[in-house]
Amino acid sequence: MFSEIRNSQYERLDYAFAEGEGGGDQIVVIGHGVTANKDREWATTLAGALNAAGVATLRFSFSGNGDSEGDFRDSCPTKEVSDLGAVLDALTASDRDWAIAYAGHSMGGAVGVQRAFIDARIEMLISLAGMVDTADFAKRKFGELTPGEGFMWDKPECPLSQAFLDDMNLVSSVEKLAEQVQVPWLL
């Protein structure tokens, strides 16, 4: 459907589009959590169920994750909010007038709240175990690691960076933004 989706750094975002049975104009964009990608079992299962119900899906990997271009060390909520914007740009530039929902898991949930707060193209929001307090999450999960030396959940392909920690602390919590989200929201 789309030739390429590139973020503002011109990194190619890996995605998988699937038409819903019946070909309607509803689409759910599916975003993953920390250290994941578009091909996690929960994401492919969700997409399959939505497709069978007549809803199109677009699963994508944030930059630096999965087969998307970019450096994992640059992955952080603020950059992922921008990546989601690039996906929405591609959808709105297509030849269809999509009714767009976004489903995010874990940090992808926090990203969805931040994007829905600033972007009216998201008409419905779904948070699957959505992260709220990003600073607390980073402290609890990675507080014992040294940035530049440690790996998130002992995954060598997921080095902990100071940029990630700084951004998690800068975002701090999406709770105040959540109070202002005006679209239907499934938690």
pLDDT tens digits for 17-26?
999 988 889 9
pLDDT tens digits for 108-158?
999 999 999 999 999 999 999 999 999 999 999 999 999 999 999 999 999
Position 103 scores a pLDDT of 98
Residue 78 has pLDDT above 90, yes or no: yes
pLDDT tier at 93, thresholds 50, 70, 90: very high
Q: How far apart are CA 20 and CA 122, in angstroms?
A: 18
pLDDT tens digits for 28-66?
999 999 999 999 999 999 999 999 999 999 999 999 999
Helices and strands counted in the chain (H then E): 6, 6
Neighbouring-strand partners of residue 103: 30, 126
Which amino acid makes up residue 91?
L
Half-sphere exposure of 58 (CA within 13 A, CB side): 24
Position 74 scores a pLDDT of 98
Q: How far apart are CA 123 and CA 27, in angstroms?
A: 10
pTM: 0.97
Half-sphere exposure of 38 (CA within 13 A, CB side): 22
Mean pLDDT, residues 83-110 taken together = 97
167 phi/psi in degrees, rounded to 5: -70, -40
Residue 1 has pLDDT above 80, yes or no: no
